[in-house]
């Protein structure tokens, strides 16, 4: 398309002989070189936009390709996990056996106390690190709507409690972290669940186009990224506390931990999918806008072209008659775009060149020129293939005749 536009510019500014008195000139007065430079700059801008959109399209395609590959790997992993779960021997169908009696007898009360002290110290450090993450999130410029409980009465959100069953906010989380009674959080996983609840509540109640929804989605994504970085230490904390309990409790902790890790991944994927879906929608809109700009530019270039002569119209008609059926249908569609009454799909079409606008004629000329050049290339390629094939056949016949003559002479 860009080549066609540049060709149109050259046609518009090519030196011409003085026109006859009856000929009209479509080009406006002004410096032709300046107009051509302006067209070229617009083309360069459109090409740059197209390159950026191509990168976005590639990002969307790559995301879905990776997602498909990940789903295939998950399917294989599920099969392997099921094979691992098959019973190996009698009584081994349940790998988590409650041996609390034997374990408790083999450990002294002092060892248990020391282990609990170490675990408490680890949990305090983990709480401190999680508090840092919490401050980073709450200090974000978009965190202000989530700091305090939703003012349901003041904002007249009459259906809020019907939709949101468990309201949550950062002020409530902070109070629960600082309290000394049984209401205090027992571990960082409980805090993490409430932080997620803040953002999921906001995304549930507010429409996707609402600013609050978008702010919550962005902050949730940032929180999940930071939580994933802390997750290995969370696993260590679970392991530490699990050694203080029975093997059965340990199995339960590990199961919950695996479920939590899986939930984190699901949340991250949901956020990524939402972002990719938004990127795809925006890219589609931008592509439509780019097509519109390209069409406007094409019309501007064509309007600068001179009036087509009678001889050029005759040659254009000859060119149309030499088009392939597929290209001829495309040419008729070009005519129909500027002439709604033109029946491009009729079995017989009566085309009057003099009745067509200059814009349509020039568009047809550029299209026919490109189509015929492509047909010539295809014909040349096919002719070369046929020539090569004929040569191979002739060589094979000559070789066969030579062998036959050799046998006859012997």
What DSSP string runs through 136-161? Answer: HHHTSTT-GGGSS---TTTTT-TTHH
DSSP structural state of residue 208: T
pLDDT digits (tens, 9 = 90+) for 88-134: 444 444 444 444 444 444 444 555 556 566 666 777 788 888 888 89
Q: How confident is the model at residue 190 (pLDDT cuts 50, 70, 90)?
A: confident
Cα–Cα distance for residue pair 273/276, rounded to 1 Å: 5
Q: Quick one: which H or E segment has residue 355? A: none
Of residues 321 and 81, more confidently modeled: 321
Asked if 242 and 122 touch (Cβ cutoff 8 Å), the reply is: no
Q: Is 28 helix (H, G, I), strand (E, B) or coil?
A: coil
| Residues 271, 275, 278: CA angle, nearest 5 degrees | 140
Strand ranges (E), 212-356? none
Q: How confident is the model at residue 82 (pLDDT cuts 50, 70, 90)?
A: low
DSSP structural state of residue 308: P
Can you tell me the mean pLDDT for 234-261?
A: 57
Give me the chain's average pLDDT, please. 74
Q: Which of 317, 20, 30, 333 has its CA nearest to residue 12?
A: 30
Q: What is the pLDDT of residue 171?
A: 93
Predicted TM-score (pTM) above 0.75: no
Can you tell me the mean pLDDT for 311-326?
A: 88
Q: Which of 166, 174, 178 has its CA nearest to residue 147?
A: 174
Asked if 140 and 222 touch (Cβ cutoff 8 Å), the reply is: yes
Left if phi > 0, otherwise alpha if psi is -120 to 50, otherwise beta: which for 349?
A: beta
Cα of first residue to Cα of last residue in the chain, in angstroms, is 68
Cα–Cα distance for residue pair 379/373, rounded to 1 Å: 10
Can you tell me the mean pLDDT for 390-405?
A: 78
Above pLDDT 90, what percent of the chain?
A: 12
pLDDT digits (tens, 9 = 90+) for 347-364: 777 778 888 888 888 888
Domain ranges of the chain: 113-243, 310-408
Of 190-204, 227-241, 382-396, give the range with the top mean pLDDT.
Answer: 190-204
Asked if 306 and 16 touch (Cβ cutoff 8 Å), the reply is: yes
pLDDT digits (tens, 9 = 90+) for 2-27: 444 444 444 444 444 444 433 333 34
In words, the CATH class of domain 310-408 is mainly alpha
User: According to CATH, what is the number of the domain 113-243?
Assistant: 1.20.920.10
Say if residue 166's pLDDT is above 60.
yes
């Amino acid at each position: 398309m860009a080549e066609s536009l540049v060709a149109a510019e050259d046609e518009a500014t090519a030196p011409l002989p003085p026109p006859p008195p009856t000929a009209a000139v479509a080009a406006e007065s002004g410096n032709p070189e300046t107009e051509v430079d302006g067209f070229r700059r617009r083309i360069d801008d459109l090409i740059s936009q197209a390159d950026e959109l191509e990168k976005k399209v590639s990002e969307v395609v790559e995301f879905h390709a990776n997602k498909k590959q990940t789903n295939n790997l998950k399917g294989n992993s599920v099969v392997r996990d099921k094979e691992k779960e098959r019973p190996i021997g009698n009584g081994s169908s349940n790998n988590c056996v409650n041996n609390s009696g034997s374990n408790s007898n083999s450990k002294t009360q002092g060892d248990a106390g020391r282990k609990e002290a170490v675990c408490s110290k680890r949990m305090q450090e983990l709480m401190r690190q999680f508090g840092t993450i919490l401050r980073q999130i709450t200090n974000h410029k978009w965190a202000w709507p989530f700091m305090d409980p939703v003012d349901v009465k003041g904002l007249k959100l009459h259906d809020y409690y019907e939709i949101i069953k468990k309201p949550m906010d950062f002020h409530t989380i902070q109070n629960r972290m600082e309290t000394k009674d049984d209401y205090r959080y027992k571990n960082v996983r409980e805090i993490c669940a409430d932080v997620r609840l803040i953002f999921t509540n906001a995304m549930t109640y507010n429409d996707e186009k609402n600013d609050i929804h978008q702010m919550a989605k962005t902050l949730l994504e940032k929180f999940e990224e930071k939580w994933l970085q802390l997750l290995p230490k969370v696993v260590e904390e679970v392991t530490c506390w699990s050694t203080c309990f029975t093997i059965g409790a340990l199995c339960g902790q590990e199961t919950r931990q695996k479920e939590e890790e899986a939930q984190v991944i699901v949340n991250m994927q949901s956020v990524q999918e939402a972002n990719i879906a938004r990127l795809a929608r925006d890219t589609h809109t931008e592509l439509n806008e780019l097509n519109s700009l390209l069409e406007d530019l094409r019309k501007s270039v064509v309007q600068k072209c001179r009036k087509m002569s009678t001889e050029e119209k005759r040659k254009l008609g000859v060119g149309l008659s030499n088009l392939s059926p597929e290209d001829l249908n495309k040419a008729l569609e070009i005519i129909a775009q500027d002439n709604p009454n033109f029946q491009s799909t009729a079995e017989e079409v009566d085309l009057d060149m003099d009745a067509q606008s200059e814009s349509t004629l020039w568009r047809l000329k550029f299209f026919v020129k490109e189509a015929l050049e492509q047909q010539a290339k295809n014909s040349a390629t096919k002719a070369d293939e046929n020539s090569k094939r004929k040569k191979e056949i002739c060589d094979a016949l000559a070789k066969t005749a030579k062998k036959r003559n050799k046998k006859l002479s012997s």
